[in-house]
């Protein structure tokens, strides 16, 4: 590696594995609690100010800690582990030579790395095009445009792009105001295998997500089944027990493949439910408050062997008389015996304006950043989620430790 080795970075984090004495909430939980309206929940959270942080599987690092660190980097995941995230995520995709790497999407290199301003810019599926008049700047760069060796030469950055840019260097900007570039320098990309080694050294468990390919499958003879199997084989080769792995996919067929072909891993496979994408538009879309639209039904999923389901958090909540309560979706999933994980607590910016996409079903009940904890409490206590993805895991870790999850 051209930067600090994974072993050295893990050592700097206080591993193997991180002792509780190395964990820290930092200032964010106290900041959020101070914003809350007076309530029994606020009083309870305030009473835990002196608690000793402890790692918890309820707190899941969403691509690490990307509120402030470039996602899917060593540094982002070390930060998440230091905040007590008991489970860490590698979104898995592949390079042109079929090596598995951690990226949120196969075609996100133009927004998550420096590729458009590097010597590899011409490898991109769609090289950088500058903004002109009403036409925004654009590019599309895929991991499948590169070999693993080429991928490892890139520098990661915060996920963003400046669509008004007229040069590749300017296109690398655009970081959202509620994030920061302060910790972007010298961040370290990871292969899937490197993520397994790092997460284990950090004392965390694993939730890899098999990402949809941007290329047509099969790709050079590499089938979807090969892809799903290759991801699981990496954990088997590393000697990681299936009980420590929650393999995820938005593709139900991937989940069913693991259930049938790798039943030990399939028992904890997570169906990421994105049927909201056609919400209220096409047949088969889910209305979270109308069980007649759940196709397959929650019982159908359970009968297929699915044990975990993970929708975005807004699908689990609705409002009754101005109060946040579980949606019909949440109630049906619970009735079918499905474990619920949800995402992503701190993916949006400040909540004063209603929270954006992630909070669309409860916007009228949200008006300040303290409402992160109000939402989390309803999800944990009333919906009964078993895990929460967050872009800043300290928030969730503090809550879980305080209420005894």
User: Whole-angstrom Cα distance, residue 143 to residue 156?
Assistant: 13
How confident is the prediction for the chain on average, in pLDDT?
94
Q: Are residues 323 and 193 in the same domain?
A: yes
> With helix as H, strand as E and coil as C, how does 124-170 read?
CCEEEECCECCECCEEECCHHHCCHHHHCCCCECCCCCCCCCCCHHH
Overall domain count for the chain: 2
Residue 224 lies in a domain: yes
Q: Which residue has the higher pLDDT, 205 or 348?
A: 205
- pLDDT of 235 reads 99
Task: Provide mean pLDDT across the span 304-330.
Answer: 98
**Contacts for 236 with CB less than 8 Å, ≥ 6 apart:** none
Question: Residue 114's domain spans which residues?
Answer: 106-171
Question: Does residue 255 sit within a domain?
Answer: yes
Residue 158 lies in a domain: yes
133-174 residue pLDDT tens: 999 999 999 999 999 999 999 999 999 999 999 999 999 999
My answer on whether 215 and 138 are in the same domain is: no
| The last residue of a domain, from among 142, 171, 200 | 171
Q: How does residue 178 score in pLDDT terms, banded at 50, 70 and 90?
A: very high
Claim to verify: residue 129 and residue 85 sit in the same structural domain: no
Q: Are residues 73 and 165 in the same domain?
A: no
pTM recorded for the entire structure: 0.95
246 SS3 class: coil
Q: Do 85 and 126 sit in the same domain of this protein?
A: no
What average pLDDT does the segment 271-293 reach?
A: 78
What confidence category does residue 5 fall into, taking pLDDT thresholds of 50, 70 and 90?
low
Confidence category of residue 17, pLDDT binned at 50, 70, 90: very low
For residues 327 and 235, membership in a common domain is answered with: yes
Same domain for 297 and 392, yes or no, is yes
pLDDT score for 64: 98
CATH of the domain at 61: 3.20.20.190
Percent above pLDDT 70 for the chain:
93
Q: How confident is the model at residue 284 (pLDDT cuts 50, 70, 90)?
A: low
Segments in 152-244 forming alpha helices (H): 168-171, 192-201, 224-237
Contact in structure between 390 and 59 (CB atoms under 8 Å): yes
Per-residue model confidence (pLDDT) at position 357: 93
Residues 90 and 57 in one domain: yes
In a domain, 300, yes or no: yes
């Amino acid at each position: 590696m051209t930067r600090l080795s994974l072993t050295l970075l893990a050592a700097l984090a206080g591993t193997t594995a991180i002792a509780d004495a190395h964990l820290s909430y930092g200032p964010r939980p106290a900041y959020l609690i101070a914003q809350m309206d007076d309530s029994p929940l606020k009083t309870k959270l305030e009473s835990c100010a002196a608690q000793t942080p402890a790692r918890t599987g309820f707190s899941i690092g969403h691509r690490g800690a990307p509120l402030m660190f470039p996602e899917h980097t060593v540094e982002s995941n070390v930060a998440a582990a230091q905040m007590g995230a008991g489970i860490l995520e590698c979104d898995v995709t592949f390079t042109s030579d079929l090596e598995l790497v951690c990226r949120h999407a196969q075609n996100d290199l133009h927004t998550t790395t420096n590729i458009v301003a590097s010597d590899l810019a011409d490898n991109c599926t769609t090289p950088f095009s500058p903004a002109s008049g009403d036409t925004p700047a654009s590019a599309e760069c895929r991991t499948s445009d590169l070999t693993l060796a080429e991928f490892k030469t890139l520098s990661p950055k915060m996920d963003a792009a400046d669509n008004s840019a007229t040069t590749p260097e300017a296109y690398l900007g655009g970081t959202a105001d509620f994030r920061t570039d302060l910790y972007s320098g010298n961040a370290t990309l990871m292969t899937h295998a490197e993520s397994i080694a790092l997460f284990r050294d950090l004392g965390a468990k694993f939730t890899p997500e098999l990402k949809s390919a941007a290329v047509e499958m099969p790709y050079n003879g590499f089938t979807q089944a090969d892809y799903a199997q290759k991801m699981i084989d990496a954990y088997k080769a590393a000697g990681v027990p299936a009980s420590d792995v929650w393999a995820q996919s938005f593709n139900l067929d991937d989940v069913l493949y693991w259930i049938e072909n790798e039943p030990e891993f399939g028992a904890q496979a997570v169906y990421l439910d994105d049927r909201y994408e056609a919400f209220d538009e096409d047949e088969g879309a889910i209305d979270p408050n109308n069980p007649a639209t759940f196709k397959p039904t929650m019982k159908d999923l359970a009968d297929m062997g699915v044990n975990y389901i993970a929708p975005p958090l807004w699908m689990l909540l609705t409002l009754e008389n101005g109060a946040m309560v579980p949606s019909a979706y949440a109630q049906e999933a619970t009735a079918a015996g499905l474990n619920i994980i949800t995402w992503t607590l701190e993916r949006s910016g400040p909540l004063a304006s209603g929270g954006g996409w992630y909070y669309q079903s409860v916007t009228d009940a949200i008006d300040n950043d303290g409402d992160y904890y109000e939402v989390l409490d309803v999800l944990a206590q009333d919906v009964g989620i078993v895990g929460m993805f967050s872009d800043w895991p300290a928030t969730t870790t503090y809550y879980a430790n305080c209420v005894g999850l």
